[in-house]
Amino acid sequence: EHGSKGSTALLMERRTGALMGDISMEDYGCVAISPLWLGGTAKQNSLYVVHNVDDVDKSTRVRDGLWLGGWADARPRVADSTLAEGRFKFFLGATEWGPGQLEKELQEGAWLPLTCSPELVIKDRVLGWQPGKPKPVWTELLGLLGEEGRELVKLVYPNDGE
């Protein structure tokens, strides 16, 4: 969300260490082993769900192929396996910027804006796990920036592919 009053977003790649079943088996039992991600340090009493299902009631379109909210409608469909739990990603809290703050940080180069597929936003690195140090999704995101992004990834994973 972005407007004259500021901006709100979700961090995409920081796990809390908790699973959804730790929150409430009654509400999240069908996704009990799904990780709970940290959306940010603001709004810590808020739980957000991001998904790629276009027919979930009370969800808000973020962009083509990506929606926010609607868990009450989706839950029974996940419970009966009509929808796969891997299509949903859960976040505690959000990240907030005051009016003009995000624009200033972008101008200063604090953020590297890019466009990516909804599948990459929803992707859980555990599903593609292979032996060794698992690479987080942000490494794929940086790869979208071209050579500069790939060089940044090599700083963290210098022996990747060797």
125 lies in some domain: no
11 lies in some domain: yes
Per-residue pLDDT of the chain (162 residues; tens, 9 = 90+): 888 899 999 988 888 999 999 999 999 999 999 999 999 999 999 999 999 999 999 999 999 999 999 999 999 999 999 999 999 999 999 999 999 999 999 999 898 888 888 888 887 655 555 566 666 778 888 888 888 888 888 888 787 644
91 lies in some domain: yes
124 lies in some domain: no
Q: Could you tell me the two tokens for 121?
A: 């936003």
Residue 23 contacts residue 71 (beta carbons within 8 Å)? no
Q: Which domain holds residue 86?
A: 2-108
Q: What would the DSSP string read from start to end of 40-55?
A: -SEEEEEEEEEE--TT
Q: What is the CATH number of the domain that holds 47?
A: 3.40.1740.10
149 lies in some domain: no
Amino acid 17: pLDDT = 92
